[in-house]
Amino acid sequence: MAHAGPALFDVGNPGTLQTSAYVFRRENDPEARQKAEGTYFRLVKEPDSEAKQRRFKEALANLRAGKNDPIVYRYRQGDFDAIPGSPWVYWISTGIQDVFLKCIPLEKAAPVVFGTKTYDNFRFLRLWWEAGYKKISRFNTSWDDFLHGGMEFVPLMKGGSEKRWYGNQEYVLLLTKQGREFLRWLEEKKDRIRGREHLFMQGVTWSNVCSGRFSTRLLPKGAICSNAGSALFPPDIEMSLGVTNSTFAIYAMRLIAPTINFSVGALSRLPFPATTSESLPILVRQAIELAKVDSEEIETTWDFVSPPNCSDGIQKVAERHSQLAEIERQIDKEVYRLYGISDEDRRAIEAELAAGGASTENEEDEEPGGTDSEETETAENFWSEENLAKAWISYAVGIVMGQFEPGSEDGLGRGRFDTETANHLQALKDQDGLLVKDPGHPDDLAAKVLSALEVIFGEEKAETLIREVLGNNGELLANLRDYLADKFFKEHIQKYRKRPIYWYLRSAKGNYGLWLYYHRLDKDILFKALLNYVEPKIRLEEDRLKALRNRKESVGSSGREAKQLEKEIDRQEQFVSELKDFEEKLRRVANLHLDFNLNDGVILNMAPLWELIPWNEPKKYWEELQDGKYDWAHIAYQLWPERVQEACKKDRSIAIAHNLEHLCESAPSKATGAQSKKRGRKLL
């Protein structure tokens, strides 16, 4: 076999096409087949077809001359059986073979569970900030706990980017009507919640699909696993985390599953050491704690406290990651000892991993939230002086909007403030979640954000921080106002995975705007915006226009002042027209009398406002709502009740969502005659 690996053909991404050329000979005698020896040319490290061709000819010449060549391997057919599944890993040593032969597979040391599939992530999954920090039932120990808790969201582990020890806790599962809507949906798919005996238990989870290296992390109590983030439930969680996050485990998983797909079956075959370790669990606990500190500094995690300190935060992040790297080296050393791996094999393993990644065949992006947040980047890559300043501005926006709770014990974004500072920051919180882009207005977002930063840092340091992002030119507050309405809103959309919780409603030319906080949405908020902000603003600007016209009449039609006034009147007329256009579009949505239901998720609730939001996604979802794609959503029933009632006749899960089961023509499940709590347990 000439194993060319990636980059043989010049395709769009050469790494996605793995190739080999081979000659087989049929052997009917099983014993002879097992003893037969193949010859293998390993050409996976050469960068292109020409380099592979040259290296193959060189190795072939050495072989014909009776010389050894480091890319030529002789391997017995029967030796492939050392690894479960018999992958053709002809380059491994006898020492690595022995590890697989002598150790038990992981599935015999710990139950490995394939997680629950939703079949419709957009309908049943939410990013946790869509649900709201206090509306997630995070500490269930059983299904009965969930039923008695009265909440509708539970944490769901859905894989994600490469992340060791702790993290990727971004998603929640929507379980309305005590889970009946979701359970009925699964029943229609002839499925159910999987791994019921381990529901809400602490364990170890990993991403089934990940373009980075294989990694595992803590599965916290109270969570459910998805099919993209399966789990194992070992008797010693720290021991299993240490082994599965070791360099050897990464190497072994690459032998077992040489692509980006790390299935339950692949992890089940990972060899697990028979001996235990006293030091490994201690090291793992230290690694978890360090990873948690990272999480506390990222606002899109529910562990968030505050961004890193402005004075020495970046340095502390680097020190922390250096400490974690040293702990991981100690973990590697201990795991190598547990497996009995020689120094020679260790060097070969680390050289192999340093040479390149796995194939990226069949990569899938299942995440409904789009682009990753900064949590997916390493802290060293993410934290720059500019990004740190942006993080503090975003934090200040969250304080003013009401997302963060400075000084609140265990509150999201509680910060590390003294009582006086925390009280000043709490006083800046807007109670109705409505702010404006309007110079001089008491609810101008930019002015409040500046005030929050001045409370935290003092005036001089706050200005320095803002200038780090905006530059030194121009008036500070005006620049901050423009930044929030433009770049910040775009960055917020990206940071929050296309599910923004601060909505910017903009007039056509961007001269006026409203900010809405998602978790303050109710049936009155748009009328409040019109009554308290837009209508008074129009009256104020009309009065200014009238005053300009009166001045123009008094000075006549000639002269420099008259010409200047004509220009001012023209600008003011355009501004008033812009405001009235904004009012008309906002009132059109307000007159729909929507009672926003946050269970529908950010993007469907945002969709009716698509004309006012400077982002293309809301319009797309508005059109799909009109087409009947999301009839399970409450907003669909409010806008098109007759159409949704027809959908309820055919789909019981939609009927359950809208409390319209009496309309459903399909047969109810066997459990539907019982009380709701009993229904939930039986359907599980």
> Which position has the higher pLDDT, 321 or 383?
321
Identify the weakest region by mean pLDDT among 69-78, 208-217, 437-446, 459-468.
208-217
What's the whole-number mean pLDDT along residues 171-181? 91
Tokens representing residue 144 in the block = 């009965």
What's the whole-number mean pLDDT along residues 652-663? 91
What's the whole-number mean pLDDT along residues 10-27? 81
**pLDDT over 70 for what percent of the chain?**
92
What's the whole-number mean pLDDT along residues 384-402? 96
pLDDT at 684 over 60: no
pLDDT score recorded for residue 679: 37
Distance, CA of 430 to CA of 417 (rounded, Å): 20
pLDDT score recorded for residue 12: 64
Q: pLDDT digits over 361-392, tens only?
A: 443 344 456 544 444 444 456 789 999 999 99
Q: pLDDT digits over 514-556, tens only?
A: 999 999 999 999 999 999 999 999 999 999 999 999 988 887 7
Domain edges within the chain: 2-91, 95-108+235-259+272-359, 383-590
Identify the weakest region by mean pLDDT among 252-266, 422-436, 446-460.
252-266
Distance, CA of 123 to CA of 293 (rounded, Å): 32
pLDDT score recorded for residue 668: 65
> Which position has the higher pLDDT, 215 or 366?
215
Distance, CA of 433 to CA of 427 (rounded, Å): 14
pLDDT score recorded for residue 16: 72
Average pLDDT, the chain: 89
pLDDT at 14 over 70: no
pLDDT score recorded for residue 676: 39
- The arrangement of strands across the sheet holding 125-127 comes to 125-127, 171-174, 153-157, 224-225
pLDDT score recorded for residue 231: 87
pLDDT at 675 over 70: no
Residue 666 confidence class, pLDDT cut points 50, 70, 90: low
pLDDT score recorded for residue 366: 41
Q: Spell out a b/e string for 332-368, using b for 16 or more CB atoms within 10 Å of the CB, else e.
A: bebbbebbebeeebbebbeebeeeeebbeeeeeeebb
What's the whole-number mean pLDDT along residues 484-497? 96
pLDDT at 669 over 70: no
pLDDT at 587 over 70: yes
Strands 2-5 and 37-42: parallel
**pLDDT over 90 for what percent of the chain?**
64
pLDDT at 138 over 80: yes
pLDDT at 83 over 90: no
pLDDT at 673 over 70: no
Task: Specify whether the CB–CB gap between 258 and 92 falls below 8 A.
Answer: no
> Which position has the higher pLDDT, 41 or 678?
41
pLDDT score recorded for residue 99: 93
Q: What are phi and psi of 526, to 5 degrees?
A: -70, -35
Q: What string of DSSP letters covers 666-677?
A: SPPPGGGGS-HH
Closest CA to 658 of 678, 632, 681, 677: 632
pLDDT score recorded for residue 243: 94
What's the whole-number mean pLDDT along residues 305-328? 94
Quote the pTM value. 0.88
pLDDT at 357 over 80: no
